[in-house]
Chains A and B, each alone.
Chain A
């Protein structure tokens, strides 16, 4: 904290940084391995593939019907983003502005789907959806994915809304704004960055959300991540390179949206916002 570090302290710092760099290197390496393989002609018993080609992408596109899968993925993700916004933002507003009896219970209700992992509630949820004949259909997948995202939007938005001074709303009312005008002219513009951040985070999380879609999807309603799983699972049948080509398509999709999201949002919020609420 003030003076020169001792040898012991320097060694310790070095060890920690070495660990971090090792971790990052491994992450980069595993991503690189997938990318390199997807562009390789044949890769066996060597540091790099024998040659490079892009034909695996064309073949993966055909084999895995990536066109349809991508459309399904974006339909699901789009619907989830829209609906969780529509359900979540008003709920967050109510929780931020009103202190009604049972509020603690409601907050707990929204915390649970975030803290309990998807598998634990996914199987009973899938059972119910199949009972309602929604299992295997696009609507079933959308509903299943909404379960963790609606609470997520609520919990992420509450602090944003609390930051807006309620007296601004009071001032708007004093000067004649009805509820509609209040939302349209005052709240939405002020909340826009927060809503954008929350929805982008939902988007990124839903693209990568495996378990819920896995349990509720049918052959025509698989998202990209689930299709990838099946491809890897049946790896003996398909060429590894085309599976990796598909994996690269998946990676690009998630990372592109991650980068967009990061322009508006601090990386820690992807993780911490919701978990911070769990701590309070």
Chain B
């Protein structure tokens, strides 16, 4: 096994910004990446994650800030001079070249000897498990196979960094799960640093060592998947990480929050400055309990096979999403309770 990522200590993004006309697609983003790390850039459309990736690749120039690879400043270099591997969302395989020539393209551009190219291409293809497809054209391959070729093409040049731009979004659900595992396996095999752009929080949680949550061009939070899942720093990050219930309320003197006539306890994430708060709870953390403090009238219930995903309204018309293990009827009154450690409280001013 001779394909291994080039060694480096640290990739640093310092204060990078990118403007398009009047729009700030990226604002003052800072990040440090070490060799072997898998970083996910996560956020909704328009948050700047793809812009950041393209700036890293050199396909876009920075309006301000810099990118350093160890002590070398690289943001002035053209993409062909940076030596990063990149996997595109639509694969971008050269349609007029066979799989082998596609994968070997980067090596051809570097003037590597033919025999070495053949050997390395063969290795890369076997890493992505496409050994027999070498002579086919991209048009003859399925989506998943094309994806593997794109990955092989990016890793065969043994880059210090592999950039992936939503590589799985064009695949169907089953294939996506398969390829997720493959991507992680290949990443660990060659030991590169990977920066992976996605809008799917599940993907980010399952693949990344660290997640960078972005919104409107700024970094909202950087943390491990566990931290982001259990302790999102801001209410908008919480919302993105699946905390579907976001309720404006006020903190009583006793430290409880009133929702629709009932009172529950919660955990503040940051120091609170006033009584106005925003409360975030996951639907699966709001469980039906006969003695629960919150009373709601059920509005809809969808069967998901194991549980029922329901929505309902409290007496003061606040909509809540919750999960029930048993079937509930529309119009029924259900009582809900939640574990205080799973109820997160954020300051009420817009963050």
Direct contact of A and B (CB under 8 A): yes
Which residues of A from 1 to 38 have beta carbons under 8 Å from B?
1-4
**Quick one: closest B residue to A3, CB to CB?**
B78
B60: A residues at CB distance < 8 A: 2
B338 to chain A, nearest CB (A): 48
> For the complex, would chain B's binding face be called helix, strand, loop or mixed by DSSP majority?
loop
Most buried by B among A1, A2, A3, A4: A2
Is B138 engaged at the interface, CB distance under 8 Å to the other chain?
A: no
Is B250 engaged at the interface, CB distance under 8 Å to the other chain?
A: no
**Quick one: closest B residue to A4, CB to CB?**
B76
The size of the chain B interface, using a CB distance under 8 A, is: 8
Apart from A3-B76, A4-B76: 5 A-B pairs, beta carbons within 8 A:
A1-B78, A1-B79, A2-B77, A3-B58, A3-B78
A2: B residues at CB distance < 8 A: 58-61, 77-79
Q: Which 9 A-B pairs have the closest CB atoms?
A: A2-B58, A3-B78, A2-B78, A2-B61, A2-B79, A3-B76, A2-B59, A1-B79, A1-B59
Interface, chain A (partner B; CB < 8 A) = 1-4
A1: B residues at CB distance < 8 A: 58-59, 78-79
Within the assembled complex, what's the spacing in Å between the Cα atoms of A2 and B60? 5
A163 to chain B, nearest CB (A): 23
Within the assembled complex, what's the spacing in Å between the Cα atoms of A222 and B58? 61
Within the assembled complex, what's the spacing in Å between the Cα atoms of A2 and B59? 5
B58: A residues at CB distance < 8 A: 1-3
A12 to chain B, nearest CB (A): 16
B79: A residues at CB distance < 8 A: 1-2
Within the assembled complex, what's the spacing in Å between the Cα atoms of A181 and B122? 63
Q: Can you report 11 A-B residue pairs in the complex whose CB atoms are below 8 A from each other? A: A1-B58, A1-B59, A2-B58, A2-B59, A2-B60, A2-B61, A2-B77, A3-B58, A3-B61, A3-B76, A4-B76
Within the assembled complex, what's the spacing in Å between the Cα atoms of A223 and B349? 77
B235 to chain A, nearest CB (A): 37
B76: A residues at CB distance < 8 A: 3-4
B59: A residues at CB distance < 8 A: 1-2
Within the assembled complex, what's the spacing in Å between the Cα atoms of A218 and B58? 66
Within the assembled complex, what's the spacing in Å between the Cα atoms of A1 and B77? 10
Within the assembled complex, what's the spacing in Å between the Cα atoms of A2 and B58? 5
B78: A residues at CB distance < 8 A: 1-3
B161 to chain A, nearest CB (A): 16
Which residues of B from 76 to 112 have beta carbons under 8 Å from A?
76-79
**Quick one: closest A residue to B62, CB to CB?**
A2
A3: B residues at CB distance < 8 A: 58, 61, 76-78
Within the assembled complex, what's the spacing in Å between the Cα atoms of A1 and B76? 12
Within the assembled complex, what's the spacing in Å between the Cα atoms of A2 and B78? 6
Within the assembled complex, what's the spacing in Å between the Cα atoms of A3 and B59? 9
Within the assembled complex, what's the spacing in Å between the Cα atoms of A143 and B263? 88
B77: A residues at CB distance < 8 A: 2-3
A8 to chain B, nearest CB (A): 13
**Quick one: closest B residue to A2, CB to CB?**
B58
Within the assembled complex, what's the spacing in Å between the Cα atoms of A3 and B62? 9
A4: B residues at CB distance < 8 A: 76
Within the assembled complex, what's the spacing in Å between the Cα atoms of A1 and B60? 7
Within the assembled complex, what's the spacing in Å between the Cα atoms of A4 and B61? 9
Within the assembled complex, what's the spacing in Å between the Cα atoms of A91 and B78? 52
Within the assembled complex, what's the spacing in Å between the Cα atoms of A4 and B62? 11
Within the assembled complex, what's the spacing in Å between the Cα atoms of A2 and B53? 13
Within the assembled complex, what's the spacing in Å between the Cα atoms of A3 and B73? 13
Within the assembled complex, what's the spacing in Å between the Cα atoms of A2 and B57? 9
Which residues of B from 47 to 79 have beta carbons under 8 Å from A?
58-61, 76-79
B78 to chain A, nearest CB (A): 5
B66 to chain A, nearest CB (A): 13
Within the assembled complex, what's the spacing in Å between the Cα atoms of A73 and B61? 56
Within the assembled complex, what's the spacing in Å between the Cα atoms of A1 and B58? 8
B4 to chain A, nearest CB (A): 27
**Quick one: closest A residue to B76, CB to CB?**
A3
**Quick one: closest A residue to B57, CB to CB?**
A2
Within the assembled complex, what's the spacing in Å between the Cα atoms of A4 and B60? 11
Within the assembled complex, what's the spacing in Å between the Cα atoms of A2 and B76? 8
Within the assembled complex, what's the spacing in Å between the Cα atoms of A220 and B78? 67
A10 to chain B, nearest CB (A): 15
Within the assembled complex, what's the spacing in Å between the Cα atoms of A105 and B79? 48
B59 to chain A, nearest CB (A): 6
**Quick one: closest A residue to B80, CB to CB?**
A1
Within the assembled complex, what's the spacing in Å between the Cα atoms of A130 and B59? 64
A226 to chain B, nearest CB (A): 47
Within the assembled complex, what's the spacing in Å between the Cα atoms of A170 and B154? 48
**Quick one: closest B residue to A6, CB to CB?**
B78
**Quick one: closest A residue to B61, CB to CB?**
A2
A68 to chain B, nearest CB (A): 57
A165 to chain B, nearest CB (A): 24
B83 to chain A, nearest CB (A): 14
Within the assembled complex, what's the spacing in Å between the Cα atoms of A4 and B78? 9
Within the assembled complex, what's the spacing in Å between the Cα atoms of A4 and B76? 8
Within the assembled complex, what's the spacing in Å between the Cα atoms of A171 and B61? 51
Within the assembled complex, what's the spacing in Å between the Cα atoms of A2 and B75? 9
Within the assembled complex, what's the spacing in Å between the Cα atoms of A4 and B58? 11
Within the assembled complex, what's the spacing in Å between the Cα atoms of A8 and B78? 15
Within the assembled complex, what's the spacing in Å between the Cα atoms of A3 and B77? 7
A96 to chain B, nearest CB (A): 26
B61: A residues at CB distance < 8 A: 2-3
B163 to chain A, nearest CB (A): 14
Within the assembled complex, what's the spacing in Å between the Cα atoms of A147 and B76? 58
